[in-house]
Structure 1
């Protein structure tokens, strides 16, 4: 029987994945390993960027901040997902659900903006190499990172506040975390204004950050094509190929799930796509962003040798 759910002492039941407990334990092992790799890899990157003076450049400053955001971003949902897969607890309080919702979307939005900033950094490095240090000075880098955090957290306050005022007529959330679409499906309140606000907020964040990224890469490609030597073209493109790969995966899945006027009812597809940008992309990022980088590898090697 459906019940009217309101107040911060109320709770929901997370549905999780439609699979047997055997597959749940297999998922648990895979996701746990990927989560530990994500945390470990990002801690290594942050540590190296902080202690190695050779990595004192805007690119590594942004990579360090991206690693910090992704540690927080994955920690908002994955620990709860692991508990859910063990079958120990599927409940989450309304206040806990709203908190998870706010930090998940705020950190995800901040990452969108930071990816755009990183593309601008690569644009300056490739298209204006002689002015790069003057343009991307320390003050500007700090302001850009601060803008990413503010731009990520501030717009998501309004949907979270509106969500807290809804009445819910069911407890079972068809997801493994408190995503907007399954929450709206449980609401017995009118949600048109919230859906419209969420669509406009998500569209503004994703399209703005992606537009900046697209513009910078168009300029980068034009510059690379004009380079006379094949070696020069390859070297220039290799500095931004990894970032471009992550951008396509991240923005593609996020835009498909969230930049839609109406809440999606295809919950199983949303769960699969959510695993891509919550679990898979963060574990791949340290590898393709940094550990393939010769400076990062040299810094890790130096750190290991100094510990002996």
Structure 2
């Protein structure tokens, strides 16, 4: 392909999920249904956490923030993909693509930081339950959340600026949204600086919460091993099981998509991983983490009776 200067690339063409015309209505219906379930489920959690006085605790504050991030994450990519599924025109302007990349990386990184904060919350609740209310406060959770937002925004801004300065040898993006991996694949020269940042600064910002979660659960495991009460042991395992499943869903997708050399990417297969990360996981999180909780279900039962 002939080399095209970056300044001449004014728009990108997204490939979408499938090039088979007969599959487009099926894909549209399935993804739209999952998107609506994800938005409604997470919105209900946010509403419950802010309106019910029983749920105005540090844990539910973090949970509402996670639901807000999930709504944002799926809304950044899915509506555009749905429009392109039933449209012949699948173009996106250069500036809109960079903006989408920035917001996607921001909220994607923020999800990991919130899960790390939740792991700390569970660690204190199990390891030091008598001092939980004094150690983990709503003010502390607010400070953690605001600090995390600042960090992930600066990180995403750095990546977006570096990608926007690349020289592209085409505008055919083999993906259904503007993600860093397919954009790097379009670069005329190997973007060494970008790849080095992914495996250094990117690991520090994105993967460090995962190692923090592992450390928290190592301490939780020690605390659980010391429990002699079967009821206490069962309650601790029940408290952590939902969070562990959400962590595995998130970081399994992140590691599969991003933490590999660019030569090892199969963008066609990564479409399905991206759908899982941007649609399925936000849809499952309220069901796994929130709506199984007795306090949240109690709020919705009361709300249903009032209605």
Contact 2:185 2:262 in 1 (8 A): no
CA distance in 1, matches of 2:160, 2:99: 8
Shift of 1:263: 5.5
Instruction: Note if 1:273 corresponds to 2:273.
Output: yes
Matched, 1:84 2:89: no
How far apart are residue 79 of structure 1 and its match? Answer: 0.7
Query: What is the SS of the residue equivalent to 2:6?
Result: coil
State the distance in 1 between where 2:187 and 2:107 align: 25
Give the direction of change, closer, same or farther, for the CA distance of 1:263–1:115 in structure 2 (3 Å limit).
Answer: farther
SS of equivalent residue, structure 2 residue 262: coil
In the alignment, the residues of structure 1 paired with residue 265 and residue 214 of structure 2 have an alpha-carbon distance, to the nearest angstrom, of 30
CA shift digits 1:134-192 (9 cap, x unpaired): 00112211101112211221112111111111121211101111112211221224511
1:222 aligns with: 222
Contact 1:109/1:151, CA 8 A, preserved across alignment:
no
Q: Distance in 1 between matches of 2:96 and 2:3?
A: 19
Partner of 1:288: 288
2:200 is aligned with 1:200? yes
Q: Is the contact between residue 115 and residue 247 of structure 1 (CA under 8 Å) also seen in structure 2?
A: yes
Q: Contact 1:111 / 1:148 at 8 angstroms: preserved in 2?
A: no
- Per-residue deviation, 1:9: 7.5
Unaligned residue ranges in structure 2 (runs of 5+): none
Q: Deviations over 1:171-223 (max 9, x none)?
A: 11011111122112212245111221123232112331011100111111221
Residues 248 and 265 (structure 1 numbering): CA distance in 2 closer, same or farther, change over 3 Å?
Answer: closer
Alignment partners' CA distance in 2, 1:256 and 1:38: 22
Report the Cα distance in structure 1 between the residues aligned to 2:115 and 2:8, rounded to whole angstroms: 35
Q: Deviation of residue 264 (structure 1)?
A: 4.2
CA distance in structure 2 between the partners assigned to 1:5 and 1:71 by the alignment? 36
Q: Does 1:183 align with 2:183?
A: yes
Deviation at 1:227, TM superposition (A): 1.2
Matches of 1:34 and 1:113 in 2, distance apart? Answer: 25
TM-score by length of 2: 0.95
Shift of 1:2: 4.3
Contact 1:45–1:290 (Cα < 8 Å) also in 2: yes
Q: Aligned residue for 1:169?
A: 169
Does the 8 Å contact 2:9/2:168 carry over to 1?
A: no
**Range that drifts further, 267-276 or 52-61:** 267-276
Cα-Cα RMSD: 1.6
1:173/1:182 contact within 8 Å kept = yes
Q: Which residue of structure 2 aligns with residue 35 of structure 1?
A: 35
Q: Distance in 2 between matches of 1:84 and 1:222?
A: 50
SS in structure 2 of the partner of residue 302 of structure 1: helix
Moved more, 143-152 or 111-120: 143-152
Cα distance between partner residues in 1 of 2:146 and 2:131: 23
Moved more, 182-191 or 29-38: 182-191
Counterpart residue number, 1:304: 304
Q: TM-score, structure 1 length as denominator?
A: 0.95
SS at match of 2:200: helix
Match of 2:258 in 1: 258
Q: Which residue of 1 aligns with 2:131?
A: 131
Listed as ranges, the gaps of 5+ residues in structure 1 are none
CA contact (8 A) 1:76 1:100 kept: yes
Distance 1:260 1:303, change over 3 A: same
